[in-house]
Structure formats: C-alpha cells, structure tokens
Structure 1
Amino acid sequence: MTRKIWVFDTTLRDGEQVPGAKLNLYEKLEVANQLKKLGVDIIEAGFPSSSAGDFNAVKEIARKVGKVDDVIITGLARAVKADIDAVYHSVKYAEHPLIHIVLGTSDIHVEKKFGKSKSEIMNIGVDAVKYAKTLLPDVQYSTEDASRSDFEYLWSTIEAVVKAGATIINIPDTVGYAEPEEFGELIFKINDRLKNVNDRVLLSVHCHNDLGMATANTLAAIKNGADKVECTINGIGERAGNAALEEVVMAVNTRRTLYQAFTNINTKEITNTSRLVSSLMGLDVQVNKAITGENAFAHSSGIHQDGLLKSRDAYEIMNPVEVGLDDMELVLTARSGRHAVKNALGKMGLRQLTDPQFEEIFEAFLKLADAKKEIYQHDLYVIAENYFAKHHPYDQDRTQHSRHFYELIDLQVISNFHFPSASVKIKQNEQIFQSSAVGSGPIEALYAAITEIADFDIKLIEYKITSVSRGKDALGKVSIQAEHKGETYSAKATDTDIMKASALAYIHAINLIVVDRLLQVK
C-alpha cells in the first residue's frame, strides 16, 4: 500500500542562509508562488524574528500565497516567546498556518551551546510548544542535532512535546553526520514508539549534505517510516546544503515500488523552479547535478548515444519530460559515434545518404568537432552543404542553406556607467549588416544590436558567462525564446574575449531557430 510523503520546502529559510543568496520581498513572493505551483505541501517562508524584512516577507507570503487550502505556510522560531510570537503574527494570515519551533537535543548543544541541564532544555521545549498551541493548532517541533543525540533523551523529549501538543516531530541531521543505515534505524525506532504514543503525529526529517548523504539519508528515512521530508530546491542551504527536493521526489517517483510512497509534487515544474531559484539567488547549478544539472539528460558518448537511439531505456531511467524538459539532448562532439551523427543528418532530411557519402561527411564532422568541441545543427548543415557543393554543385536544394545562417564578423562594445553601447557586423546571405544599440549594460546593448539584424522576435531567457581553461577562455551560455513559437533554444561558445564568447553563443542560438525554419520548409 502506497502512502503520501509530505514535502516541506525550506528554500526561503535554510536555502537563503547561503552567503550572497539574499532575496528581496518581490523575489521571495515569486519563489513562493512557484513553490505552490510545484505542489509542495508546506512552505517555510523565513525566520520572522531575524529581521523586520524577513517578518514582512513571511507575512506577505502568508497573505498572498497561503490563501489556499492546498499549501501550509510556516516560519522558524527558537523556543522563546518572542520568536514564537513573530512566527504567529506573520503566518496567521494564511489559510493553514504552522508554527515551527527548533531546540537542540544533543549533548553538544545542551551542554556547550546552551550551558543548561537536559531537564531544563526539555522543559523549555515543552513550555514553548504549550505556548504555541495557545496561538495555533499546528505546531512542528524540531530536535536539532538529533542524529548526534543520546537516543533515550531524544525520545523523552519527543514524547514530552507530543503530549504538550506538537503535531509534527522533525528529526534533523543538522550537521550531515549520519549515514543512511544508522539514520534509517533511528527513524524506525522513533516511528515505532511515536505511533504508539499518537499515530496522528507526522514524523519528519531534515538532512544536511556535509558528507554528501542528505538525499540518501532522507530516502532511508522514508523507507523506515518518515511521513514528511524537508528539502530545498537544487539542494541549497547552510554549508554544503540540504537534501535536494528534486532528487528525493524523483527517486520516490522512479522507484515507487521500492519506497511504496508518492508525493503531490507536480514534477513537470521541477526545471522551472530550479531555474528560477538559481537565477534569483545567483547560485549556479553544477552541470552534472542529478535532475536539474545542465548535463543530467545530455549524452555525448557515442556508446551511450547509440544505445539510446536503439532503445531509450538502455541509458535513461527517467524521461526528461517528467521534470519539465523538452527531451534528452544528444550532444554532438568528437566522441559521438556514427549512429548519432546519422540521426542528426536524418532530422535535416538527409536520410538517403550512401555509405561513402556519409563517411566523407562524418570525416569532415570529426575534423570540425576536434576544433570546435561541440557541433550544432547549423554546423552540420554547412558540413553537408560543403560536401554537396563539391560533388553536386548544381543541386540547389542541397547547396543553399548556409546563406541563411548568421556569422559574426566584428563587434565593438563600450562599457561605462552612463551610456553602454555596442556595434556589430554580421554576415547573412552574402551580405554584411551593421547595427548599433545602447542598453543598461554592455551585454544588453550587444544583444540588442544583434537582435536588430536577426529577423526574429527574440526574448533572452538566460545568460551566463564563466571562466574555463584555467581562466584563459570565457564560456558564454545563452537561452533565448522565439516569441512566435514559444520554444527555447540554448547554445554556448568559448573565446578568450568575454564579449565575443557572449555574442557567438547568442548567434549560435539564433542559428538554431534558422535550422528549425529550414526543417519546417522541408
């Protein structure tokens, strides 16, 4: 029998504790609305007593996002009256408000952090819960550093706060010290006792990633009876971060028969949520990160590409559409095999190539791939066109494509505080076009000048510039949306000049739109 796992998202509280990841009120509201769209059960909107700004943000989220039946809004409080009051007065505007209290239970916290006896700390926790219950019916109690606590004291605390009225008990692995087998055993023992005390109380876990086991510990907890999981988008959070929501949810989805559980998460919103949080917080997602990394569903190995083209389940355990992506990506590089290149040529309409024709094109592909690293569809068009121009110079249908593509000839960018501007020269259809533009910054000016030449209504979705090759080269990454179709096109380029890398990436993305148009004509 499958059971529901409640998903508690703490991106706006624990996630925002990442240095430099501070959000303003409007950004917090945007993230909260997206979390509601994602389908999380509980949003921890902040730490209201920490500042007036955080209090107001939690209050606005409660008022504007929490006015629905399907999402609970909470904030964090220490086990002191002022903190509990701050949470209550900020979350009370929600349809379903919750007070979340945290207090340490490990010897390290009790003796070294608080300098009190265990009985004193337990009494403080019980009194805090009793007071919170006079304000709201739902109270969560977190036993901070539970994984390093003496079990019998931990259990005594849990039993006492449940009798005081706590409706959710949260077991944090606060410093990421636990490992899956022992954490699973801990949850099993607590669950066994808790259900005998009050089977309506939810058992929750909150795992940190200091040893890289936050997701594994969370999944071990689910196997052993946890009803609720606390996560963040992209696994962000204090120090090494928290259990990643997308990883936990997709593990439960993909291995449903193993976990005998489900969540209410709308998985098709995972990618949108990940990108929004990454963009607003300025925290890049590592390219090889599970589920939301740029390469999570990209395949460049010829062996993998061949297997995928024969049967997707050979190397794919999840359909990328499930998490909100269009499809898997077969990246064409020098490691790509013949099957992948032949598949890409087939999508361009070149399905009737003889073996000698294909081998010559493939040889040219490898030569360019060694030089360029990644080959785009418009590059493949040019390779094929050069072949037909050489062997069939009068076949107009096969030798007139490259004139449609845009090629950067030159650029000049002026960056200053008052009037950033850019000028570009671009070749298309054997003609040289020139354009100049201004913007609020040099990149906006550069892209405005390029867009003026390109015959498309384009919206910039994402732009990144990073250092590669020991800092010598800049890698520009761009995602654009063609307004007439609503589809997103992504590309990248490297160069020692940051502006040139940015311009080339943008033009590569535009050329992907050109390819789409050419394929539609065919």
Structure 2
Amino acid sequence: MKASDINKYSPFQPVSLKDRKWPDRKLEHAPIWCSVDLRDGNQALPVPMNIDQKVRLFKKLVAIGFKEIEVGFPSASNTEFNFLRKLVEEDLIPDDVTVQVLVQAREPLIRRTFEALDGVKHAIVHLYNSTSKLQRRITFGNATKDEIKAIAVNGATLIKSLLDEVPDTNITLQYSPESFSDTEEDYAVEVCEAVMDVWQPTPEHKMILNLPSTVEWNMPNTYADQIEWFCRTIKNRESILVSLHTHNDRGTGIAATELGLLAGADRVEGTLFGNGERTGNLDLATLALNMNSHGIETGLDFSDIDAVRKIYEENTGMKVHERHPYAGELVFTAFSGSHQDAIKKGMDLREDEDTQWAVPYLTIDPVDIGRSYEAIIRINSQSGKGGVAYILKREFDYDLPKKMHPEVGLYINGLADQYGRELTFKEIMDEFQKEFVNRKDVIDLKKFEITKMTETKVLGEISLTYKGEKMELEARGNGPINSVVYALKQQGWKDFNVEQFRSHSIGHSSASLSVSYVQISLNSDPAMRFWGCGVHTSIRRSGVNALISAYNRAQVAKGKTG
C-alpha cells in the first residue's frame, strides 16, 4: 500500500475496560461447539454443495462429535429446504444432535423456516439482523437505532408465536446482532435485551446470544474486551449462552475466539479448516486441536485428520493448504537441518510413550491425529546431517554412529542440491548403499574365512581381487578387522588407521543382518576421514566389509583428487 493511501483508514477505537479480567485467565474446558459448514461454509463456495454432498459432510460432522450443526438457511432456496427435509424424513439426525437453522428477521422467511422444522426433535432457530453503524447507514439507508431494534423485536415476536406450530420440537432460540464487533457496545446490549424481553429466557431454558465478528475490523484483544464488557453488562446473564462467531479478515480469527472464550463466552461457531466468506470463519479443527495440545478434552474427534480433510475436500471442492495448521500435508515436516537434528534428538529420547509430549518443533504427536512419522523429516538441499540419519534409522533400521552423520548428510544433501528437488526415502537408501555399503571399487572381497581363533589371536584366509587381479592373502591379528588390516599392510596397501567401529543387527529372526560401521583416517593426511558400512549375516564379515568399504571410498577419493 502506498503511503498516500494510508490516510483513508483510521484505527479501530478500543473498549473502555480498565479492570479487564480475561488476560489473567486460562482456558480449562472446551466451549459448546457449533459447526456452520453447511450454511456459512457452503455459501462461501464457488459451487455450493448439492444435497448428497451436504449429507455426506453432515454425517462426517456427526462422526467427529458435533452436537450442534447449522444445516442451512431453509427459506433461502429449495435445495436448502429440501436438505433439511431429507435429514428428517430419512432419520439422519441422531437424537443427541441439534440442528440449527438461520433466518433473517423477515416474516415470509421465518414462516418458511418453521415449515422446514416439522418433525425435527431438537432445533436452534437462529434469528439475525444487522446492527452496526455502517450497516444502518449504508445497507438500511440511514435507519435509526429504534428502527433496527424494531426489526429484531418483530422477528423475535413472530418466532415466539410460531413455536406452537412445532410442538414436538425442542427449540432453543438464538439471536445474532450481525456485525456485533462493529456495533456500539451499549446499543448491541440494548437490542439483545429487547429480544430477551420477547423470548423470556430462564436459567433452565436458556437462549443463545451470538456475537459475530462478521468482518474482522479490530485486533483480537479488542474483541475480547467487547465480549467481557457484554458479559458483564447484559441482564440475566445466567439465562443466556454467549456465543462467538469470528471471521478471519485480519488473519486472527482463531486468536479472537480464544481470547473471547477467556472473556467469558460459552459457545463457538465455525467451520472445518476455516472455510467461509472472504478469508474464512473460525477454524474449528485448529481451535479444538490447540486445546488438545494443552491437555483439554474437547469432545471432538480429529484422530484421523486426513480422513476429515478428504471428506471436506471431496464435498466442498476446496483444498486444505499444505501449511494449514495440523491438517496440512507439510505441517509436521522439517526440511531445515537444525530443525531435523532437534526433532531426531527429541524422538530418540522418547523411550516412554506415556510421558508428557516434548519434542522440539512438534506441538503435538502426529500419530495422535492419524499422521505417521514418515513425513516428519524429508530431505532436500536445505536438510542437515541429523535428518538423513533419522530417515535411515526410522525407515530402514540403519543406526549410524553420530560421528558418521556429517559425512552421510553432506553426501545425500549434495545429491538433492544437484537434482534440484526433494529425495524420496527409497532414493536416500539407494544412494547411501551405493556410496557407503559393501563397496568393491578397488578391493573386491570375495571370501574371509577364520581358520583359527582364540581370545587374543585370529588367523584367517582372504580371497579378493585388487584392481581386477585375483589374490589370496593371509589374515592375522587380535580380531577380524585387525587381521584384515594386517593382510593389507603386508601388501603395502595400508595407508590408514582405523578410528571408529560400531555394529548392530537389523531384524530379530534367524535371518537378521549385522550392520557395521568403520571409520579410517589417512596417514598422509589424518584430517581426511572416510566411513564405510558393511552388511552381512555374520557380524565378523560385516565388520570386515565396512573396513573394505571405507578403504575403497578413500582410494576413490584419492584418485579423484590427484
């Protein structure tokens, strides 16, 4: 935005609330949840859902655990009306689920809405009209406050008179002063109390006052101040449920809801993954999982977030972004080397799954929402030594010595940089084996057989080819690796010292493999070190293979450097 354009905007005025209490509170329990995917979410779609799609999404919302679901605006179109009738006539609404219907404060729309409710067991009738100064001036042509209040009162009066037409339906009444966050606080209370005077809620039969941030004009702390001021000021607070309905124009819809709950609200309305007009509504999945990550039970089941995302995408035609909190394809994935190293260390230390979750860069355990560990670390040119080692360990059981990580990581990351893309797990393993495992470039070890072995002495026979020439050598030393070093020395090939050795097994059956790792340093330049890996059914042979691999890598490197 150009500096010359700034003057057309003005800051939002704060609420006068000197002794606000919400900043010192903490969330300890979940709110009442209401999904508005089938109405608010649906009206924001380029191609609205058809009835079958809405039914599939409704069933998923029920399965997740939503007990209040806004099913639409029955008076808006035949599709909306017929959808609710299908739910009723095919007995698709569980007895413990309340369906919510939205209606403007207009007589024909209200009457049509009540026709749609015939046979519903539990319903919320949600009445609304716009109350903000901006809406009064522009949408309603400079209507007065009394005229706008009269619209709400007249609608509420008609709804009350129609309750007897659905005697078998348990109805909860809800009113929204639309654009609440842009309405003068005292006027919002005045209109809400006028509706309360008509509906006469009691502590035993509460009504809902829904306070929308229809357009997110202000910062989330200001919205929280508005909610706390409202909760303090409204009469008969014990007879109402204060509900929040935030949008995301400033990108802080979730924050505004969380602070609004601290400020005293009881209930929230939102959509899966935040689908809604403009930048969207409150993201119910993110808010619920935020609470889960702080140890708060929500009553909502997002233990298979990918399945929820699949149903959502198939029926709305929308896509969940790769970086969307919790549900995105890449949100548990680290490409950065430093992140990968910290995650690997955290995962390695998690020996007891019953302990409190504490892994760097992962706010929750991906497994808890149905994600695997496969995608936690992925490798490209930005990745580090720990990431490659993590994948080799997690996916293929190769537990590299820590001092081997930099050499392997540098090699694999160099390939990713060369290819200009991410490497698959299979590619990482294939390249690791080609470069480090059972190398045969210079020395091709055909046979290593121990003929005599005591606690302090090993004698053996070696068959190999050296630069293509077949040879038979004697092995002699205080262990298998040392005996092979002796044989190489006798041929004048030993220009190195063995620095590190480690081994482990892969698998637990009789067919398990032994994996060994050996590091050597060159006599001519001790700073030049090379790791090799050996794999064999015999632990002795795997160690020898690792030595030969390290030696071959060193010889190839020497040849390339002169």
Q: Same fold (TM over 0.5)?
A: yes
CA separation of 1:395/1:118 partners in 2, compared to 1, >3 Å: closer, same or farther?
farther
Q: Which amino acid aligns with 1:316?
A: L
2:190 is matched with which residue: 142, 145, 156? 156
Q: Cα RMSD between the aligned structures?
A: 2.6
2:126 aligns to what SS in structure 1? strand
Question: 2:216 maps to which residue?
Answer: 176
Question: 1:391 maps to which residue?
Answer: 440
Gaps of 5+ in 1: 397-522
Q: Which amino acid aligns with 1:351?
A: Y
Question: 1:139 maps to which residue?
Answer: 173
What does 1:31-180 align with in structure 2 at a 5 Å threshold?
31-64=57-90, 67-115=93-141, 116-133=143-160, 134-135=162-163, 137-165=171-199, 167-180=207-220
How many percent of aligned residue pairs carry the same amino acid?
A: 26
Structure-2 separation of matches of 1:59 and 1:209:
32
Structure-2 separation of matches of 1:232 and 1:349:
40
Structure-1 separation of matches of 2:224 and 2:44:
28
Q: Is 1:213 aligned to 2:252, yes or no?
A: yes
2:251 aligns to what SS in structure 1? coil
2:99 aligns to what SS in structure 1? strand
Q: Is 1:250 aligned to 2:289, yes or no?
A: yes
Q: Which amino acid aligns with 1:160?
A: A
Q: CA deviation at 1:198?
A: 4.3
What does 1:398-437 align with in structure 2 at a 5 Å threshold?
none
Q: CA deviation at 1:358?
A: 6.4
Structure-2 separation of matches of 1:90 and 1:395:
83
1:305 aligns to what SS in structure 2? helix
Moved more, 365-374 or 345-354: 345-354
Q: Is 1:368 aligned to 2:415, yes or no?
A: yes
* Residues 257-278 of structure 1: CA deviation (Å, up to 9, x unaligned): xxxx753211314442233212
CA separation of 1:173/1:349 partners in 2, compared to 1, >3 Å: closer, same or farther?
closer
Contact 1:66-1:96 at 8 Å conserved across structures: no
2:365 is matched with which residue: 319, 337, 340? 319
Question: 1:338 maps to which residue?
Answer: 385
Q: Is 1:281 aligned to 2:316, yes or no?
A: yes
Structure-1 separation of matches of 2:233 and 2:145:
21
CA separation of 1:90/1:368 partners in 2, compared to 1, >3 Å: closer, same or farther?
farther
Structure-2 separation of matches of 1:2 and 1:200:
22
Q: Is 1:227 aligned to 2:227, yes or no?
A: no
* Residues 87-114 of structure 1: CA deviation (Å, up to 9, x unaligned): 3232443331111111011122223212
Contact 1:66-1:73 at 8 Å conserved across structures: no
Q: Which amino acid aligns with 2:287?
A: V
Q: Which amino acid aligns with 1:368?
A: L
CA separation of 1:395/1:298 partners in 2, compared to 1, >3 Å: closer, same or farther?
farther
Contact 2:388-2:408 at 8 Å conserved across structures: no
Contact 1:68-1:95 at 8 Å conserved across structures: no
Q: Is 1:379 aligned to 2:465, yes or no?
A: no
Moved more, 335-344 or 182-191: 335-344
* Residues 417-454 of structure 1: CA deviation (Å, up to 9, x unaligned): xxxxxxxxxxxxxxxxxxxxxxxxxxxxxxxxxxxxxx
CA separation of 1:109/1:379 partners in 2, compared to 1, >3 Å: closer, same or farther?
same
1:142 aligns to what SS in structure 2? strand
Q: Which amino acid aligns with 2:145?
A: K
CA separation of 1:357/1:274 partners in 2, compared to 1, >3 Å: closer, same or farther?
closer
* Residues 270-319 of structure 1: CA deviation (Å, up to 9, x unaligned): 44223321232222222212122222111111111111111152222212
Question: 1:199 maps to which residue?
Answer: 238
Contact 2:392-2:399 at 8 Å conserved across structures: no
Structure-2 separation of matches of 1:129 and 1:94:
20
1:299 aligns to what SS in structure 2? coil
Question: 1:351 maps to which residue?
Answer: 398
Structure-1 separation of matches of 2:233 and 2:405:
68
Structure-2 separation of matches of 1:353 and 1:263:
41
Q: Which amino acid aligns with 1:248?
A: L
Normalising by structure 1, we get a TM-score of: 0.69
CA separation of 1:329/1:75 partners in 2, compared to 1, >3 Å: closer, same or farther?
same
CA separation of 1:65/1:273 partners in 2, compared to 1, >3 Å: closer, same or farther?
farther
Structure-2 separation of matches of 1:147 and 1:347:
50
Q: CA deviation at 1:145?
A: 0.6
Contact 2:64-2:302 at 8 Å conserved across structures: yes
Q: CA deviation at 1:44?
A: 1.1
Moved more, 58-67 or 301-310: 58-67
What does 1:476-487 align with in structure 2 at a 5 Å threshold?
none
Normalising by structure 2, we get a TM-score of: 0.65
Structure-1 separation of matches of 2:65 and 2:227:
25
Q: Which is higher, the Rg of structure 1 or of structure 2?
A: 2
* Residues 466-500 of structure 1: CA deviation (Å, up to 9, x unaligned): xxxxxxxxxxxxxxxxxxxxxxxxxxxxxxxxxxx
CA separation of 1:285/1:112 partners in 2, compared to 1, >3 Å: closer, same or farther?
same
Residue correspondences, number: 391
Question: 2:38 maps to which residue?
Answer: 12
Q: Is 1:310 aligned to 2:345, yes or no?
A: yes
Structure-1 separation of matches of 2:130 and 2:446:
77
Q: Which amino acid aligns with 1:285?
A: V
Structure-2 separation of matches of 1:394 and 1:64:
74
Q: Which amino acid aligns with 1:88?
A: F
2:226 is matched with which residue: 186, 200, 224? 186
Q: CA deviation at 1:216?
A: 1.0
Q: Is 1:329 aligned to 2:376, yes or no?
A: yes
Contact 1:6-1:263 at 8 Å conserved across structures: no
Structure-2 separation of matches of 1:185 and 1:97:
31
CA separation of 1:103/1:262 partners in 2, compared to 1, >3 Å: closer, same or farther?
farther
Structure-2 separation of matches of 1:207 and 1:373:
40
Contact 1:66-1:72 at 8 Å conserved across structures: no
1:314 aligns to what SS in structure 2? coil
Structure-1 separation of matches of 2:34 and 2:368:
21
Contact 1:91-1:98 at 8 Å conserved across structures: no
Moved more, 134-143 or 31-40: 134-143
Q: CA deviation at 1:147?
A: 0.8
